[in-house]
């Protein structure tokens, strides 16, 4: 297929079979498209649906996001992972309000200058909400193009990425770019899937080189595998008489930056020192079922302990530490495994398991 035939086939398929009722396709504006694109990075559409609606209900405009407390933004993001995305959202919102009068710049190059907006996300914002001709290359589109051209090499390699971008530019039409952009994402998400692609239903079947070779699953070429290291940490859940758990806010940079988390210890013998820091008297720690949390570059094995504590009369609350009331939890950004552990602690306390 030539580029015009390619885009025509994709658009005709989209008109008949594309997704037209996603929340961010309603009331389209740059803010809604931008938030949805950031949420959808490395996250399934089915997961994002509820998060997007809640986020928009709480922070319906870029001005509302810019003015919101960071804890509220991280709370709304809790469970989506990759929390740098949420912090960059707010950074960008503040820049858009302060430097662009609350209007996103109608220019891909200027969009890319904003925190957390890469070239593909900028292209999606520009094409879907502004009607500008701008190619995109998210994971779904990358897979479609890599298969269609039987692109050799791992897409993360610069020369391979350059070729894929060249093809993305080549096939992007000059008309209906908003629909074409959504169509390409839909094609990758619904037909040209990682495993068991529905080639017989695909509008690009006749020109797809991977399909003609019978090698659809070979493309895109996967990243060379490396062993994922396993790290260990001990997380004590210090529970006071009111059934609240001691949490601390992590530094703004690094792992779980800006989120509230449980203390981390190398060994249970370090518990006395932690308790002394907060003028707490501890009772017998009780082990709880551990869990393993997977990050992009390592796995973290968490060993949780539920620890009854009594506060001293001389206890003074420290900055970046708080007692998290399990019965009426505050709206805070929590790391996903910490949220799970707090739920387990609440269940144990309600069941009277704390001695």
- Out of 12, 37, 70, 311, which one is annotated catalytic? 37
- In sequence order, the 6+-apart residues with CB closer than 8 A to the CB of 346 are 243, 326, 327
Is-catalytic flag, 37? Answer: yes
First-last CA distance in the chain = 71
Q: Kindly give the pairing relationship between strand 299-311 and strand 321-325.
A: unpaired
Q: What is the DSSP letter of 243?
A: S
Q: At what angle do helices 70-77 and 84-100 cross, to 10 degrees?
A: 130
Q: Which long-range contacts (CB under 8 A, 24 or more apart) does 39-44 make?
A: 39/80, 39/85, 40/138, 41/82, 41/85, 41/121, 41/138, 42/81, 42/82, 42/139, 43/80, 43/81
How far apart are the C-alpha atoms of 289 and 303, rounded to whole Å?
A: 7
Of 22, 5, 16, 31, the closest CA to residue 89 belongs to 31
Handedness of CA 325, 332, 23, 205 (dihedral sign): negative
Residue numbers annotated as active site: 37
């Amino acid at each position: 297929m030539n580029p015009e035939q390619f885009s025509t086939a994709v658009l005709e398929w989209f008109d008949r079979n594309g997704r037209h009722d996603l929340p961010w396709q309603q009331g389209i504006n740059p803010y809604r498209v931008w938030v949805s694109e950031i949420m959808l990075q490395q996250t399934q559409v089915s997961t994002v649906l509820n998060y997007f609606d809640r986020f928009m209900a709480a922070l319906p405009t870029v001005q509302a996001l810019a003015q919101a407390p960071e804890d509220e933004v991280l709370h709304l993001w809790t469970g989506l992972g990759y929390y740098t995305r949420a912090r960059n959202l707010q950074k960008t919102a503040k820049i858009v309000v302060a430097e662009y009068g609350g209007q996103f710049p109608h220019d891909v190059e200027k969009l890319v200058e904003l925190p957390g907006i890469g070239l593909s996300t900028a292209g999606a914002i520009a094409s879907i909400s502004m009607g500008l001709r701008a190619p995109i290359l998210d994971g779904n589109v990358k897979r479609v193009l890599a298969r269609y051209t039987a692109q050799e090499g791992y897409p993360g390699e610069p020369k391979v990425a350059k070729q894929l971008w060249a093809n993305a530019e080549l096939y992007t039409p000059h008309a209906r770019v908003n629909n074409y952009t959504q169509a390409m994402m839909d094609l990758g998400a619904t037909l040209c899937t990682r495993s068991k692609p529905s080639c017989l239903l695909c509008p690009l079947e006749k020109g797809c080189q991977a399909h003609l070779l019978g090698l659809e699953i070979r493309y895109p070429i996967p990243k060379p595998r490396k062993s994922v290291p396993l790290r260990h940490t001990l997380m004590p859940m210090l529970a006071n008489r009111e059934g609240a758990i001691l949490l601390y806010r992590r530094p703004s940079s690094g792992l779980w930056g800006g989120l509230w988390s449980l203390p981390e210890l190398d060994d249970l013998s370090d518990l006395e020192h932690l308790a002394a820091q907060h003028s707490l008297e501890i009772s017998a720690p009780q082990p709880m079922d551990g869990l393993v949390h997977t990050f992009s570059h390592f796995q973290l094995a968490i060993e949780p302990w539920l620890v009854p504590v009594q506060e001293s009369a001389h206890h003074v609350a420290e900055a970046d530490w708080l007692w998290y009331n399990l019965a009426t939890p505050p709206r805070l950004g929590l790391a996903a495994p910490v949220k799970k552990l707090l739920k387990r602690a609440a269940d144990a306390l309600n069941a009277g398991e704390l001695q």
